[in-house]
Every structure is written in C-alpha cells, then in structure tokens.
Chain A
Amino acid sequence: MSTAALPEVGAEREPLVGSPLTVTDFVRYQGASGDMNPIHHDTEFAKAAGYPGPFAVGMLQAGILSTYATDWLGAPNLRRFKVQFREQAWPGDVLTYTGKVVATREEAGETLVDVELACTRQTGGTHLKGWATFVA
C-alpha cells in the first residue's frame, strides 16, 4: 500500500474531451483487439444491417475511459473496471470522459477507492457508464 494521499470522496478528475471520432480510430482499435466486425467500418455492411453507416466500437471508448481512470489513480492499482453500453456513438461525435470518487473502503487489509465514470456525447446522451475500483 502506498502512502500517497487517499483521494477524497467526491473528488472529480478534470474532464477529457476527445477529438471527433473517426472510422480510422475504429479500425485501429479493431486491429489491436481482434474484433473485426465490419459493422464498425464497412458502410455497405452497416447499411444492409439497417444502420445509417458504421458506428463506434464501444470497447474503444471503454478503453479510453479505462485509461482516463488509470492516468488518475494508477495503472498498476486497477482492480476492477466495468462498463455499460448505452446509446451508440457515431463518427464525428465529440465525447467527454468524466470520473468521480464515490467511496473509499477497507477490504482484506487493503484500502480501495471506488470511482464512477461516464462517457457522454455532445448531444448530452450517455454513451457509456463505467465503474472502477483501485487499490490505494
């Protein structure tokens, strides 16, 4: 356990505003993760499935939300990260990532910090809700 100051409940991280989403971002993430579902990069395929075009890979924004949190509370300290997918995000969307400490607690001799996270579209709609736990 480190001796760094424990984040206070209610502490918020400065929001991260992403650059507009591009299909290139999706393809790069898909190549890195191994999920090559064409619905995220093939316009004809997405239209045939009833969508106006390719939509964002939720796990890409989940990954950005995860590193947004670990940049704050420490990459090696992460013990749990959960994300819930809400409304879809689309190329051109500008997403804002936010995080807030909601609890600190002791468990099995460790101090844990619980964080609530969100990724919000420029429309105000919620793309992702997230939860993370770090060891202090």
Chain B
Amino acid sequence: MDTSLEGRTAAPFTMVVELGKVREFAAATKSTNPDYAGDPGDHPVSPGTFLMSAAFWQKPENSPFFGVELNWHRILHGEQEFVFHGTPPRAGDVLTGVARIDRVYEKAGKRGGTMTFTESVTEFRNPAGELVAESRGTMIETSQAAS
C-alpha cells in the first residue's frame, strides 16, 4: 500500500459537454428518455454517469495515476460515485476537471489476503470556478489474482 499517493493531483483539463455526445451516451445506456435527447440548439441535461466520457478530454498527464506503476491485472473497479451540486451538466457547458488521488487504505479480503482501495476524485468546475460535479472512483487491488 502506498499512502504517499494520497493528494497526488493531475494537471487540469477542459471538457465540453456536447449535444451529440449526450445523445450517443444516452443511447448506449439504452435510455429513451427525451430529457437526454434534444435537437440542435437544445441544452439537454446529461445522464448520471456521463462524466465517464471525460476520458475523451483527458491526456495521460490529466490522470493522477500518470507515472505511477500499478498492477493493472490485479485491479478491479469497485465503486463509482457522481455528486451534482445542482442540476447535472447540460449540453453546451464547459467544465474544467481536476483529478486527484484522495484516499488509499487496506482491508482484509474475505478469502484471505489484503485488498488495497484507492479512491480518486475528479472535481468539475464551471467557468465561474464553482464546483458543479464530482466523479469518484474506487479501484481495488487484490494481493491474490482476481478470481
């Protein structure tokens, strides 16, 4: 376990919440909700897990894991959380994201060994600098190969 990773913060990145991407993402998650559709000029709200697509706007140096050696074959995605400080982002919004490693901790595994939990959070701010959304992921590294 490497708690020295806590607080490791990546370079900021900018993302545009695009109408076509909102529509594509909603369709890929099998939603037919008209709230996630919209025609040219509309500003539909984005789905609850849409901020996963921030990946398209992130270069390697925008990841807090950039330059960190990880055993990716022993790492599972354990949890993912999204918090919205108001209505979720809408098509047309421009967001600045900053990702950091927030917490690193261990738990005993149910079948022996230890599991290392690494929580990273990306904070999204609007052009006024207000925090509008957070995306928090928990990665679990097992001391034994995943089964």
Contact = CB atoms under 8 A, between A and B. Distances in A.
Interface of A: 18, 25, 28-29, 31-35, 49-50, 58-60, 62-64, 66-67, 69-71, 74-85, 132
B36 A63 contact: no
Contacts of A18: 30
A81 B81 contact: yes
B91 interface: no
Interface in B52-87: 52-53, 55-56, 73, 76-85, 87
7 contacts: A29-B28, A32-B25, A32-B29, A63-B29, A67-B29, A79-B83, A81-B49
Contacts of B49: 59, 62-63, 66, 81
A67 B49 CA distance: 9
Interface of B: 21, 24-31, 33, 35-36, 45, 47-49, 52-53, 55-56, 73, 76-85, 87-88, 145
Contacts of A29: 28-29
Contact of B84 (A25, A34, A78): A78
Given A25-B30, A64-B30, A80-B83, 7 more contacts: A28-B28, A59-B49, A62-B49, A67-B26, A75-B35, A80-B81, A80-B84
A74 B27 CA distance: 17
B118 to A, nearest CB: 15
B79 A83 contact: yes
A1 to B, nearest CB: 13
